[in-house]
Structure 1
């Protein structure tokens, strides 16, 4: 049972738990304690050190800004104004607090505030839906559009929108890059004639892709009720991120072992059978490496694209908080930063697990 548990733990990317499992079985106590120290205790200690450095840095910046405000009040208006500013800062009044790097406690408070705000908005949505349920049934029966909730999205709603956008862009990148990569990889002539085009478009900025997509989508959806900001965002994300998958697919297909291709000829496999039964399975490791890079790039460029396309996702949230300039805006931006980083990490882990699962099934089939 323990061996199966260890295999599962390794498979899902939680290998750091293995020494704990082995230690519980009494195996190599000294070695497993050392592994626990390296894989669990050391990371926890580094996390604590990071928080302490963050706290000390936030405190130092806060004090610097406070001293500057007091000194400025003294120079502009005299000692009385400086004393009033000092008292105001010490009282914790929001209007005169230095707005610098927030401390960990402030970020935690903003996170809780965002969750509370989400619950309030969710309750408002539910009440609105219940209130308009009967009216919407009548409107639908009459062939009219139902009345929809038009209030502002919560932070959680914006996270969900960003995840939907990145997966839509990721799927678009797959549908474009993999087929084209297979076709190019099968022909040396195509590789030599199109490679220069790939190398030119690959480093193009997300902003440029966004502007190009914006021009095309706005023209095609001029009289449409579709959400153009979402369409612009996910197409831009797909075009920005597909190049790693395209290049890796071309490389994987073009480097398939010649002996395997010769076997396919001997078996007289048709073109599609050859691609799906021989070439793609042999190219999977490189293709999945490209897909992992593509998903990471898609998540990175998404924030900038959402910001410019005015899509109601995390990019829009960060920009609105930056422009807002409220006392807790910096804290909310830091919350968004951590959320973006954690989701990006989880997306990469998901792709790694899928890659292992595909490789595992392939080996089982062999």
Structure 2
């Protein structure tokens, strides 16, 4: 009898294991197949729609045209780097000859002034958006903590937040440009004014979601934890470090993810107007160029902008998974 019971239990366990394996396999297949089907449908619809749309510059670019431009833009980048390397090599050869004739000669190396490639402009945009985002975080997170801890401060600042939160970057940029032009005066500036204009505009537009989410997260801290802090008579800074920050990390990261997405969207518009040499300027220059390849190059930039925005969000989510105690808040 015991043997029969043990066999039955073994069969049940084996059946449960098979069901679990089947469930995991189906989940993995869905995670692969469904996105693939979605992307394939999108590409088909896009290709059909592109063939049906005629513009003043020709057919609207489809997937094939974008793929061609990705290769072309990379080849242009490689060619430009080869020109840069050859430029510095010529200077080194010239300086070596001068030194051979005149040992007292002081070699001079001029900086390469060739045009920025598409990949260079991607790097410029990333540096600009991350700089503006970091400045916003330095301001917004402490302010959000203070607002969340003090009802009086919340009441005082909330109207200001609600007024400036919906302001478009297109409204901020002229004001920022005028202020930077008046204040940032230097014959040899460390940073280009176009970069400073774009960075400050990004900061102004992405600071508010971080303030709001941080303050909400701080205000919603479990009251039992606050009571423990009071019983232990923790100093204010220790209370913030040991209780407030760990408890509000999920809300803080939610605000940071929202702000980073807004920052990336704002940056493209800011670069178009400020002429900061990033992706926004690339799109604007191609639009002004009006060549037969302009549309496909702009469409390529659109996909690159979207893909980088996706990677930035995934990177912030991964950072949240590492730092947050609430792993459920960092699933998506």
CA distance in 2, matches of 1:198, 1:361: 28
CA distance in 1, matches of 2:186, 2:290: 37
Q: TM-score, normalised by structure 2?
A: 0.84
SS at match of 1:242: helix
State the partner residue of 1:168.
131
**After alignment, is 302-311 or 277-286 more displaced?**
277-286
State the partner residue of 1:110.
69
CA deviation after TM superposition for structure 1 residue 334, in Å: 0.7
CA distance in 2, matches of 1:318, 1:224: 30
CA deviation after TM superposition for structure 1 residue 190, in Å: 0.9
CA deviation after TM superposition for structure 1 residue 361, in Å: 9.3
CA distance in 2, matches of 1:344, 1:170: 13
State the partner residue of 1:204.
167
State the partner residue of 2:195.
230
State the partner residue of 2:226.
261
RMSD: 2.7
State the partner residue of 1:9.
none
What is the aligned counterpart of 1:127 among 78, 86, 95? 86
SS at match of 2:59: coil
CA distance in 1, matches of 2:106, 2:237: 46
State the partner residue of 1:42.
34
CA contact 2:246–2:324 (8 Å) conserved in 1: no
Verify: 1:353 aligned to 2:309, yes or no: no
Structure 1 residues 112 and 52, CA gap change in structure 2 (3 angstroms): same
State the partner residue of 2:294.
329
Deviations 1:37-88 (A, max 9, x none): 42212221221121111221122225xx6xxxxxxxxxxxxxxxxxxxxxxx
What is the aligned counterpart of 2:158 among 184, 195, 214? 195
State the partner residue of 1:51.
43
What is the aligned counterpart of 1:309 among 263, 269, 274? 274
CA distance in 2, matches of 1:242, 1:145: 44
SS at match of 2:166: coil
Q: TM-score, normalised by structure 1?
A: 0.76
What is the aligned counterpart of 1:340 among 298, 305, 323? 305
CA distance in 2, matches of 1:191, 1:144: 61
CA distance in 2, matches of 1:224, 1:270: 48
CA distance in 1, matches of 2:19, 2:170: 55
CA deviation after TM superposition for structure 1 residue 266, in Å: 2.1
**After alignment, is 98-107 or 288-297 more displaced?**
98-107
